Amino acid sequence: MEQQALALKYRPMDFDELVGQEAVSRTLSLALDSKRLSHAYLFSGLRGSGKTSSARIFARALQCESGPRSKPCGTCANCLAANPHKMSHIDIMELDGASNRKIDDIRDLIEQTKYHPNMGRFKIFIIDEVHMLTREAFNALLKTLEEPPEYVKFILATTDPLKLPATILSRTQHFRFKRISDRSIFEHLKKILQNEQIPYQEEALGMLIRSGAGSLRDTLTLLDQAIIYSSYNVTSEVCANMLGLINAESLNALFECIFTQDRDSLLKMLEGFFEYECGMLLDEMSIFLKEKLLKGNDTRYSSLLIDRFFRIITQAKELLFLGSENEFVLTLSAFKMLEALKVESIDMAIAHLEKGFFESLPKFENTQSVAQKLESKTQISQIQTQTRELESQKEIPTLESAKKEAAQAVLMQQNMESKILNSNLTEQNITQDSIQDHAKTLFALLGKKISAHNYDLGEIFASDVRFVSFEDSVLTWETLAVGKNRDRLIGAYSIIKNYVLEVFGMQTQIKNISKPREEIKEVAQIQNMESKTPQNVESKNLDSTLTPQEKIQREVTQALQSPLLQSAQELLEIKQVKVRPLNSVEI
């Protein structure tokens, strides 16, 4: 006897046999039994979710001579002709929207609606994939759909209801077919195999169901194949082979390599994986990780790590979608997972830091690598950029009170205005002298501000610091201070610097020419003293004009004192970073 495909053989005859669509079955059955019928229905849902089967069952129930009823008699002429397995009813027209999408096709259909049914109660039009119709075809259909003859019923089916015009949607009763649950499909497959008396392994059914992706029809087709491929004994091994699936042991070994950071073995293993379809492999990895997560018996597979792995897999799928090469995507993903483990250990390091167990930190080299990264020149230059941006905030902590910060903001604004004024002046080609005059005025203002902050300090500043010039955002002054005064100025440097930025602008740099009143050879420039760390003692003598190298040197010094780096130091307790960037950049 000829072997019939399972999908056809087990096509449901009535709503009771419909798999996994209980809500739809119930609603349609009630409508039939209560004779509350609409003239147009829309069935939407994934492919293989039972839309066409339902349309046929529904059409048969409408035509049954003792109906319409949810359980047709099955014996009358109409029931026999409208057999869902072999639809041959003259008044049930099935149309494929994909191949009959033009306006002429719809005109033919409309023409047919003018004639009364031959043998049945209704003339029923089932249009599959209705979203494929052209716009003109939809427009042509619209009028008939709205007010069809009372003997006409439409059943539209689509996998993509969003593509339908709103005018069509509003004229139909919409039934949404949900994805059939794996459990329902599983039960259905078991029933079929028991019925067919074919031995099977439940794991094998799981593989088929996953490959069928919620489509009962596709899953049944796969089951057909598996039965033949396995010579009527459906085992998981046969199914894995047939579907080109990778087995769980291989995946286990792959993740072992990742956990042990064994790059060589990982590469070898990946070569073996290249023969599989990459998208499928990624799906299998997801399933593998999901099982690890649910079982929770392997502590290495923390939810945090699995989350990271899932993200990597998702990104890999996106790359595949964009047409990236399979082997590249797979290798990249595997190495990203290796990296993800390193991030994990940094997380652990931070957790340890937070607990105050810095000394007992197991993965100290990772923290060091962070520090090393900070030391790199690029980082330094970034920090320099940020330093300039953040310079306004640099000294604020010394002021401490929020009130003063507010006052600061006002002053900053004033300063901005003065800067704008300044640049305007420049644009108007005002002579250099008048700019210097303006700068002198600002310098006097600076003195007043310092004085207002602290009278004694203001006195020392006024007597011992003299304005030289202000050019290209460099304020040059000379200090005559010695002894206590010098110490006082050095101690208050950050406060003074703050006022300089306020008055002369945020970009302002201070160039100090030290001319101590006594003949002291010792270099006594204030720039030097702003550093509080002993490592910075070797900073440059600013008596001479700055060379470009010295400028870099100074910028590095400033970068080291940037709030960004200081908070990083506080957070991570990175002590060594204070000096090494200086050395590494030193010219």
Angle at 157 between CA 155 and CA 160, to 5 degrees: 150
Long-range CB contacts (< 8 A, 24+ apart) of 259-262?
259/300, 259/341, 261/338, 261/341
The whole-angstrom separation of Cα 415 and Cα 506 is 9
Query: Which listed residue (5, 8, 73, 267) binds Zn ion by CB under 5 A?
Result: 73
Structure tokens at 172: 């139909």
Which one of 56-64, 148-156, 230-238, 281-289 is the stretch in contact with Zn ion (CB under 5 A)? 56-64
Q: Please, what is the minimum distance in Å from the beta carbon of residue 33 to Zn ion?
A: 14
Angle at 250 between CA 246 and CA 251, to 5 degrees: 85
CB 566 within 8 A of CB 387: no
Structure tokens at 509: 């740099």
What is the sign, positive or negative, of the torsion defined by CA atoms of 402, 406, 407, 408? positive
80 near Zn ion, rule: CB under 5 A: no
Q: Please, what is the minimum distance in Å from the beta carbon of residue 21 to Zn ion?
A: 22
Question: Residue 64 or 254: which CB sits closer to Zn ion?
Answer: 64
Which one of 75-83, 104-112, 526-534, 572-580 is the stretch in contact with Zn ion (CB under 5 A)? 75-83
Which one of 57-65, 92-100, 351-359, 409-417 is the stretch in contact with Zn ion (CB under 5 A)? 57-65
Site for Zn ion in 341-400 (CB under 5 A): none
Structure tokens at 287: 């399933």
Look at residue 478 and give its three-state secondary structure. Answer: strand
- The structure tokens 């644009």 sit at 427
Q: Please, what is the minimum distance in Å from the beta carbon of residue 59 to Zn ion?
A: 12
Question: Residue 64 or 312: which CB sits closer to Zn ion?
Answer: 64
List the one residue out of 273, 312, 266 whose CA is nearest residue 289: 312
Q: Please, what is the minimum distance in Å from the beta carbon of residue 10 to Zn ion?
A: 22
Q: Please, what is the minimum distance in Å from the beta carbon of residue 152 to Zn ion?
A: 20
Site for Zn ion in 162-181 (CB under 5 A): none
- The structure tokens 């320099």 sit at 384
Question: Residue 117 or 161: which CB sits closer to Zn ion?
Answer: 117
- The structure tokens 């994909």 sit at 98
Question: Residue 119 or 571: which CB sits closer to Zn ion?
Answer: 119
Question: Residue 73 or 253: which CB sits closer to Zn ion?
Answer: 73
Q: Please, what is the minimum distance in Å from the beta carbon of residue 241 to Zn ion?
A: 46
Q: Please, what is the minimum distance in Å from the beta carbon of residue 124 to Zn ion?
A: 15
Judging by DSSP bridges, how do beta strands 474-479 and 465-471 pair with one another? antiparallel
Query: Which listed residue (79, 204, 282, 334) binds Zn ion by CB under 5 A?
Result: 79
Question: Residue 83 or 113: which CB sits closer to Zn ion?
Answer: 83
* Phi, psi values for residue 152, rounded to 5°: -105, 135
Bond into 68 cis (ω within 30)? yes
242 near Zn ion, rule: CB under 5 A: no
Q: Please, what is the minimum distance in Å from the beta carbon of residue 163 to Zn ion?
A: 36
Query: Which listed residue (7, 76, 338, 482) binds Zn ion by CB under 5 A?
Result: 76
Question: Residue 14 or 196: which CB sits closer to Zn ion?
Answer: 14
The whole-angstrom separation of Cα 474 and Cα 481 is 21
**Binders of Zn ion: how many residues, by CB under 5 A?**
5
Q: Please, what is the minimum distance in Å from the beta carbon of residue 56 to Zn ion?
A: 14
As a three-state string, the secondary structure of 295-323 is HCCCCCCCHHHHHHHHHHHHHHHHHHHCC
64 near Zn ion, rule: CB under 5 A: yes
The whole-angstrom separation of Cα 121 and Cα 123 is 7
Question: Residue 23 or 73: which CB sits closer to Zn ion?
Answer: 73
Query: Which listed residue (72, 97, 117, 447) binds Zn ion by CB under 5 A?
Result: 72
Q: Please, what is the minimum distance in Å from the beta carbon of residue 90 to Zn ion?
A: 15
Q: Please, what is the minimum distance in Å from the beta carbon of residue 242 to Zn ion?
A: 42
The whole-angstrom separation of Cα 171 and Cα 41 is 9
Question: Residue 83 or 382: which CB sits closer to Zn ion?
Answer: 83
Question: Residue 63 or 498: which CB sits closer to Zn ion?
Answer: 63
Question: Residue 64 or 185: which CB sits closer to Zn ion?
Answer: 64
Structure tokens at 485: 């005064």
The whole-angstrom separation of Cα 117 and Cα 124 is 9
Residues making contact with Zn ion (CB under 5 A): 64, 72-73, 76, 79
